[in-house]
Structure 1
Amino acid sequence: MQLSNEEEDYNLSLSKFESMLKTNKVLFFDSEEFEEIILHYLDMGKAALAKKALKLALEQHPKSTGLKLVQVEMLVYDDKLELAEKLLNELYAIEPTNEEIYIQKANICSKRDQHEKAVELLRIALKYTDDYADVYNLIGMEYLFMDNLEMAKESFIKCLEEDLEDQSALYNVVYCFEFLDQNQEAITYLKKYIDKNPYSEIAWHQLGRLHYGVKEYENAIRAFDYATLIDDEFLGAFMEKAKAFERLKKYDEAIESYSRTIELDDATSYALLRMGKCYEKLGNKALALKYFNQTVHEDPLLDKGWIAITDFYVRQKNYQKALFYVNKALAIDNQNRLYWKRFATINKQMNFFEEAEFGYRKAVEFGDYGLDTWLFWVDILQFLGEFESAIQTLLQASEYFPEENEIEYRLAGLYFMLTDNTKAKFHLSNALRLNFDNYILLEDLFPVVWAKKMVQNYIAKHKKQ
């Protein structure tokens, strides 16, 4: 690729400066050359070289406002705000119409969390600048710091009116729309933007994302198609397009798009996992398993990969293999509630009830507070004859689900089993109030209790009320 004259001059200045540092010969640079060299080192994170360049620059051009403004930028970078402010006030006395002075003053205010003052200064900068886009972008960022998303959005839109190609402003506009739950308005805005700038792959990609967010999957695919036509290596657009195809149950097309992401970059565990899921939906179990295995090979810590393999074997009713894989997963992360719940479910299917009880207990211990987890755990405790533990577990569950009839019926049944009739009747009364028709649970789970005449009479009496 041929370099422009400006790029050649810039590279020449850099190599000339670095050669000077090595030989200790002092060479002359004009002030603009120095500015570019210093900013280059700052962008590269090479602060020591930037400071060395600035020192030499000010020795050669002690009156250069541009270099002094770069000095201000470096002082702000080092959090020497008072020194920076003092220098800015001196520069202001010389050049009160230099927009960069107001921008740097605003930068200092921003660092001090004085964002409204920063916006005031940036609005003054607008009067003197030729680069409106940059200043509007800075104003937008200050409004973001203030959580004023509406004004931020307005500023980023103005930035894009000045410079259609400003990609960061485009991302920020969409972010503001989404944060304000204005997805349809964002779609309308992006369509108008695309009318002016039809070859912006970023705009097409963002439009596709927004259509996907409001479940307009066909429109999303169309937008992603345009993004990938403009840039046939746009990995994110291929990934999003694949997800949209999945939503439409077009699994072959989804696989094709996921495959393209793997061609463009190293295989990601996410793409491999989704391809496995697609092949499973298409009934191709061998390929599904192949991609699930590749997923965990690529990222052994990805819980979704291990769960996919485990669930695959559960669906095949091959519980022995499912148990093998869930144990492998637990060996990697034994504090994962998703693994423990599957461990419990599989053991329950294999009639290993003590192991199943242990699994449900661990799942809850590590944060699974779903109602079904509590109930499965309690039913196994009851089956094992551990009535007291079952009651304590249900009382714990009732803190999360205070008005759940399935908990109340079980508490009633367990208290009847322990012949604590007062507590049993209290919980049975609660259960019948919450859902009378579900008293069948007593018959299913506690046939001995159900057979008691006292229980039958209590339910009948409640029915009459």
Structure 2
Amino acid sequence: MEDEFEFGFTEDPKFSVERYEEMIRNHDQYFFDAQAFENIIDYYIEKNDPARALQVAEYAANQHPFAAIFLIKQAQLLAITNRTTAAFAALDKAAMLEASDADIYIIRGNMFESMERYTEALENYEKALDLAEETDEILLHIAYVYQNMGDYETSITYLKLCLQQNMENQDALYELAFCYDVLDNQEESVQFYQAYIDNEPYSYAAWYNLGNAFTKLGLFEKAIDAYDYAILIKDSFASAYFNKGNALVNLEKYAEAIDVYRHTFEYEQPNADTYCAIGECYEKLEQMDDARAFYKKSVKMDPKLADAWFGIGVTLDFEERYFEALHFYRKALDLDLSNADYWFAIADAEYKLGHMKEAEDAYEKVVELNPLDVDAWLDYSSIMYEDQRLESAIEIISEAIKNNPEAAELYYRMVAYLFAKGEYNEALNYLELALGTDPEKHYILFDYLPQLQENKIILDIINRYSK
């Protein structure tokens, strides 16, 4: 007959674990009280050893067959290891022993949620709400379910309830910002976080989310103030420094932005995005060697960051090294084929190298991807005009006007092309349209065809609109 020893909850948890491991080594049968078993299970969970924790939970359930806690622990661990059927069975047994334990319904809700059976998940979470003492995490889970169902309004309702239960629930604060973002309702987001801060002025997460909401509204000065408060409360808050840097970039304060971005390195490992952002600031300051150095650091850290490859290209383009620039533009394009900006840069570089066919193909791609890019339409038509393909130039501008009926530049360019083709009446019709859209921009016509400054009919029409 095996020896049987008893270990109770007065023991140090580490001692319980050592005794349990000794028992397994010796193939013995020791008796542990419920608290000791819980300590041992929690120890293995913390050590990220769910298999060993499950083994203990099963052993505990055999020694304490009427203790629902071990069936609940079993279910939790079975769910983690994707043994869903066995997890549900363990929960059913636990419910027969202790139907009022909220954890049964929370774990069941988690499993239904991961199976995308949202109605059943909600039913279980609602049951748990009635039984649990602390409900903020359950309310958070209900909010997640509604997000997964695409119902962000209801999710917001539950997130606010969660924060009423626990003002310091950081996850709820961030999720709320996400929901307002999806609904594109930054004004309400600002109102919520301002009211929240009135009650919790030292919540760095609330200040940070307020800063993000101001950023999305284009209120960059206010955003910077909010980020500053977040940093004041938590000076190691790297994300707040990074987003403050972005806000400074939007205000074209590039040198300040570089300093702020560099602050993030004091509190977290440098990353590719921050190197790329610093590179872009140096690029805007036209310090191309520094810009290129940071873009290179960025791609070394993350070779899949298309913007950094593109940035290297921009610095070379600035130095009129168009052939080299093309190489890097294409590397960026390989990573993001539908990026109209990359195609535009390629088109421009090909044009500067005299590769007209390649430039034409690239411009065609730009306007296909972004038909609202007026500059791309103008440049695309310009290639045709230079190649004396007036018909094509006119067709391109005509298509551009369909997509951008408010862009006066397109009408003035059409006037120039029609005059060049000798279609004077049609040209004058478009001149009227151009002047009706924006009379101040009539200089565009003379930039393209200076000789028209001597044309009395045109000058009379312009003077009529200018007055």
Q: TM-score, normalised by structure 1?
A: 0.72
Q: Which residue of 1 aligns with 2:234?
A: 231
Q: Aligned pair 1:190/2:229, yes or no?
A: no
Question: 1:404–1:434: 8 Å Cα contact kept in structure 2?
Answer: no
The amino acid that maps onto 1:170 is: L
Q: Which residue of 2 aligns with 1:291?
A: 294
Q: Aligned pair 1:256/2:259, yes or no?
A: yes
Q: Aligned pair 1:242/2:245, yes or no?
A: yes
Alignment partners' CA distance in 1, 2:306 and 2:113: 42
Question: 1:194–1:204: 8 Å Cα contact kept in structure 2?
Answer: no
Alignment partners' CA distance in 2, 1:377 and 1:281: 26
Alignment partners' CA distance in 2, 1:244 and 1:27: 63
Question: 1:177–1:186: 8 Å Cα contact kept in structure 2?
Answer: no
Q: Which residue of 2 aligns with 1:60?
A: 63
Once the two structures are superposed, residues 262-299 of structure 1 have per-residue CA deviations (whole angstroms, 9 ceiling, x without a partner) of 33333333323333443455565554454344444444
For 1:33-112, list aligned pairs within 5 A.
33-35=36-38, 37-38=40-41, 46-74=49-77, 76=79, 88-107=91-110, 110=113
Q: Which residue of 2 aligns with 1:267?
A: 270
Q: Which residue of 2 aligns with 1:3?
A: none
Once the two structures are superposed, residues 371-408 of structure 1 have per-residue CA deviations (whole angstroms, 9 ceiling, x without a partner) of 43244223313432456766776787688569989889
Structure 2 unmatched runs, 5+: 1-8, 452-457, 462-467
Change (3 A) 1:268 1:368: farther
Q: Which residue of 1 aligns with 2:171?
A: 168
SS state of the match for residue 257, structure 2?
helix
Alignment partners' CA distance in 2, 1:150 and 1:385: 57
CA apart distance, 1:208: 2.8
Change (3 A) 1:219 1:135: same
Change (3 A) 1:338 1:217: closer
2:210 to 207, 229, 254: 207
Q: Percent identity?
A: 27
Alignment partners' CA distance in 2, 1:148 and 1:218: 33
Q: Aligned pair 1:324/2:324, yes or no?
A: yes
Alignment partners' CA distance in 2, 1:395 and 1:283: 36
The amino acid that maps onto 1:156 is: L
Question: 2:71–2:93: 8 Å Cα contact kept in structure 1?
Answer: no
Once the two structures are superposed, residues 168-191 of structure 1 have per-residue CA deviations (whole angstroms, 9 ceiling, x without a partner) of 222223334444511222222331
> Could you tell which deviates more after superposition, 222-231 or 362-371?
362-371
Q: Which residue of 2 aligns with 1:452?
A: none
Q: TM-score, normalised by structure 2?
A: 0.72
Alignment partners' CA distance in 1, 2:216 and 2:13: 44
Question: 1:115–1:146: 8 Å Cα contact kept in structure 2?
Answer: yes
How many residues align structurally?
441
Question: 2:136–2:162: 8 Å Cα contact kept in structure 1?
Answer: yes
> Could you tell which deviates more after superposition, 235-244 or 29-38?
29-38
Question: 2:102–2:132: 8 Å Cα contact kept in structure 1?
Answer: yes
Question: 1:408–1:430: 8 Å Cα contact kept in structure 2?
Answer: no
The amino acid that maps onto 2:138 is: V
Alignment partners' CA distance in 2, 1:395 and 1:21: 83
Alignment partners' CA distance in 1, 2:331 and 2:121: 54
Alignment partners' CA distance in 1, 2:180 and 2:362: 44
Question: 2:298–2:308: 8 Å Cα contact kept in structure 1?
Answer: yes
Change (3 A) 1:286 1:113: closer
SS state of the match for residue 208, structure 2?
helix
CA apart distance, 1:409: 9.2
Question: 2:214–2:222: 8 Å Cα contact kept in structure 1?
Answer: yes
Alignment partners' CA distance in 2, 1:15 and 1:147: 49
The amino acid that maps onto 1:54 is: A
CA apart distance, 1:239: 1.0
SS state of the match for residue 66, structure 2?
coil
Once the two structures are superposed, residues 292-344 of structure 1 have per-residue CA deviations (whole angstroms, 9 ceiling, x without a partner) of 444444444433334434444555xx32x244223233256454653342232
Q: Which residue of 2 aligns with 1:152?
A: 155
1:141 to 137, 141, 144: 144
Structure 1 unmatched runs, 5+: 1-5, 449-455, 460-465
Alignment partners' CA distance in 1, 2:69 and 2:140: 22
Q: Which residue of 2 aligns with 1:453?
A: none
Once the two structures are superposed, residues 110-138 of structure 1 have per-residue CA deviations (whole angstroms, 9 ceiling, x without a partner) of 45655455445444433432223333333
Change (3 A) 1:217 1:358: closer
For 1:259-408, list aligned pairs within 5 A.
259-279=262-282, 284=287, 286-312=289-315, 314-315=317-318, 318-319=319-320, 321-331=321-331, 333-334=333-334, 335=337, 337-349=340-352, 351-361=354-364, 363=366, 370-386=373-389
Q: Aligned pair 1:130/2:133, yes or no?
A: yes
The amino acid that maps onto 2:200 is: I
Alignment partners' CA distance in 1, 2:93 and 2:388: 85
SS state of the match for residue 133, structure 2?
coil
SS state of the match for residue 267, structure 1?
coil
SS state of the match for residue 131, structure 1?
coil
CA apart distance, 1:101: 3.4
Alignment partners' CA distance in 1, 2:94 and 2:354: 82
CA apart distance, 1:51: 3.5
SS state of the match for residue 164, structure 1?
coil
Once the two structures are superposed, residues 41-64 of structure 1 have per-residue CA deviations (whole angstroms, 9 ceiling, x without a partner) of 567775543443333222222221
